[in-house]
Structure 1
Amino acid sequence: MLVNQTIITDIKTIIAQSKDKAIRAVDHQRTLMYWHIGKRIFEEEQDGKERADYGTYLIKYLSEKLQPEFGSGFSIRQINLYRQLYRTFPIVHALRAQLSWTQYKLLLGVDSEEKREFYIAETIKNNWTSRQLERQVYSNLYERLLLSNDKDSVLAVAKNEKLPSDAKEIIKDPMFLEFLGLKREASYYEKDLENAIITHLQEFLLELGNGFSFVSRQKRIHLDGDEFFVDLVFYNRLLQCFVIIEIKTHKLTHQDIGQLQMYVNYYDRIEKLSHENPTIGILLCAHKNDTVVKFTLPEEQRQIIASQYKLYLPTEKQLLEEVKKELDSFEEKENFKNK
């Protein structure tokens, strides 16, 4: 008797999904347990609030009593985290079942409510692992998106309250490619960088942002007997358009911008379907001059974006300085317009 072999695949899928749900459910209950412990500790501290050192004494005392029986989960450091969990999320219903305890520990280090909301929304929407969330926090994703957007827009897109209407709402500048494992002091050919991106495609898609899927590399274009090759082609389902990436390991020139504009025009006129939006072109470059980009392209154009790549993660201080410079520059332009 013949048996439809898809039943094996289907049952394996059911088993895997059920196991995953069970693990998530157990992990969420653990997070809730830690929250309730943190709440109880905080309440006890409030009762002893006249003694300034009571909180420190209480946590040390609890660790001494609980750790021998329940293990390292009740070290002084861990109990402090449970207290911090309650202080950071004082409403228990705010704890999302889609996030693990490991992810909540990462979020406790985020220093503002808006940033935490952003990372929670992005984690749920993209089903990030703990490692992926860690990288996005440490690469200061929120601040990088703020360089070309306002806080309300960044948070609204993350929460799916609005779809991105402009490529700059999801495409970052700079892009950090530390996962490629290339040494920042060395010189690389564009082909080296492209090969490294293809090898680490999953990580590169994560860095690109929401809604990207890979289409092709070295896409051949025939133009009346001449051949050209587009480095990388992606599609973005949120923007509903092709996204072309040209890699430049040298300082960006106006010729590079013109070349990418030609590729964008080709895709708009030949590849794009009638219901799709205009093609986006990204020049991923080692160095760029924003003024050259500005005067090479028409005013108010939104199809060509120059994004600088870096082969290492910045410190938070370095990135905050960049955000401040960008905001100061924006204010100067606005003040000049209003004069």
Structure 2
Amino acid sequence: MSERPDALRPAPEGYADWLAELKNRIHGAQQRATLAVNRELVLLYWQIGRDILARQAQQGWGAKVIERLAHDLRTAFPQMKGFSPRNLKYMRAFAEAWPDESFVQEVLAQLPWYHQLALLDKLPDPKTRHWYAAKAIEHNWSRNVLVMQIETRLRERTGTAVTNFDLSLPKLQSDLARESIKDPYRFDFLGLTDEAQERDIETALVQHVTDFLLELGAGFAFVGQQVLLDVGGDEFFIDLLFYHLKLRCYVVIEIKGGKFKPEHLGQLGFYLTAVDAQVKHPQDGPTIGLLLCKSKNKVVAEYALRDNARPLGIAEYKLLASLPEPLQTSLPSIEQIERELEGKQET
């Protein structure tokens, strides 16, 4: 009877842990190699773009030189992609947009080339472009997520909610908490109309929790929906409970279907007290409350928060996208995307 192949014999003690460690090393090496290749490619493209700019300025070469350069480079390097006239023009625009080579080397080279094109195409302002580039690096956004964040104007919505964090939290935590809150929140991915009720919105957010977490931003972890709190024998239910990994605290989110009213904060503050007493770990920070309403009077919201000792924020939500008409017609609906995914799963 033949012996069993070595691969089918029981692994020796400790082999599984060693194999897992080797896999992690290999994955790490693959990632570093990919990043290194990308870095060199981005720097190469920037240098080509810089040279095109310089020669056109100094020697008066016209736009046709790009057509000729594209032909000659593709002839010399037939296996390499990226030397089309269109991409060479992007290289020129890239170098023109980012003239500081050290910044390109130290910061921008961390982003893939197609991220760079998205920044160039959609953001004419250097300061705004810089902000989105930094966020893409910090949160490891894919190109599609980067484009989505740009198109939904993330920068304009970040840190703009009405809060009392500066009065109720320590300075460092206050700044981070304020930057973690947006206004307004965009829930157009739910496919609901403005007539949707609070519970409908809440249920839809849980059903689309991946999109919801993306809209909330980095650091939020979903804990539960309609979380039960037993206070003196009476039962209360939190709409949505999250934990923020950077702030190290729980975040209670309550949804109101109409206009903000000061009395809404009484209920939310009660929930924060209960979470701090029953759920929070001693090492966690103070629980934060976020009230999402369809609309608010900013002055009324500021007055309602002024003397409240609990860390609270008030922001609006938008169920319908306010996108330009041409863009609206080009975007697939949630139903179309889901049908497409179901079709792929069946094949």
TM-score, length of structure 1 as denominator length:
0.77
Offset, 1:227 = 1.0
Cα distance between partner residues in 1 of 2:247 and 2:23: 35
Name the SS for the 1:261 alignment partner: helix
What residue number does 1:87 align with? 96
What residue number does 1:56 align with? 63
> Is residue 241 of structure 2 the alignment partner of residue 233 of structure 1?
yes
Offset, 1:82 = 0.3
Offset, 1:40 = 1.4
Cα distance between partner residues in 2 of 1:164 and 1:310: 25
Contact 1:164 1:239 in 2 (8 A): no
Offset, 1:313 = 4.5
Name the SS for the 2:218 alignment partner: coil
What residue number does 1:31 align with? 42
Residues 196, 6 of structure 1: alpha-carbon distance in 2 compared, 3 angstrom cutoff: farther
Cα distance between partner residues in 2 of 1:65 and 1:312: 50
Contact 1:254 1:293 in 2 (8 A): yes
What residue number does 1:326 align with? none
* Counterpart selection for 2:33 from 15, 18, 22: 22
Contact 2:296 2:316 in 1 (8 A): yes
Cα distance between partner residues in 1 of 2:297 and 2:177: 20
Cα distance between partner residues in 2 of 1:313 and 1:165: 29
What residue number does 1:309 align with? 317
Contact 1:257 1:293 in 2 (8 A): no
Contact 2:161 2:314 in 1 (8 A): no
Contact 1:240 1:277 in 2 (8 A): yes
CA RMSD of aligned residues (A): 2.8
Structure 2 letter corresponding to 1:178: D
What residue number does 1:45 align with? 56
Cα deviation digits, residues 67-88 of structure 1 (max 9, x gap)? 5664773333211100011112
Segment drifting more, 207-216 vs 307-316: 307-316
Structure 2 letter corresponding to 1:38: G
Percent identity for Structure 1 against Structure 2: 34
Cα distance between partner residues in 2 of 1:274 and 1:234: 17
* Counterpart selection for 1:171 from 181, 185, 202: 181
* Counterpart selection for 2:197 from 165, 169, 189: 189
**1:1-339, aligned counterparts within 5 Å?**
1-3=10-12, 4=14, 5-49=16-60, 54-66=61-73, 70=78, 73-95=82-104, 96=107, 97-109=109-121, 110-145=123-158, 147=160, 165=175, 167-180=177-190, 182-183=191-192, 185=193, 187-299=195-307, 303-315=311-323
Name the SS for the 2:211 alignment partner: helix
Name the SS for the 1:73 alignment partner: coil
Contact 2:160 2:181 in 1 (8 A): no
Offset, 1:210 = 3.3
TM-score, length of structure 2 as denominator length:
0.75
Offset, 1:273 = 4.0
Offset, 1:125 = 1.8
Q: Which has the larger radius of gyration?
A: 2
Cα deviation digits, residues 109-137 of structure 1 (max 9, x gap)? 32233223322222222222222222212
Residues 193, 129 of structure 1: alpha-carbon distance in 2 compared, 3 angstrom cutoff: same
What residue number does 2:331 align with? none
Contact 1:107 1:116 in 2 (8 A): yes
Q: Which runs of 5+ in 1 are unaligned?
A: 150-161, 317-339
Name the SS for the 2:63 alignment partner: helix
Contact 2:276 2:287 in 1 (8 A): yes
Structure 2 letter corresponding to 1:136: Q
Cα distance between partner residues in 2 of 1:48 and 1:264: 68
Cα distance between partner residues in 1 of 2:63 and 2:131: 32
Contact 1:232 1:245 in 2 (8 A): yes
What residue number does 2:342 align with? none
Q: Which runs of 5+ in 2 are unaligned?
A: 1-9, 163-171, 325-347
Contact 1:214 1:235 in 2 (8 A): yes
Contact 2:184 2:317 in 1 (8 A): yes
Contact 2:184 2:315 in 1 (8 A): yes
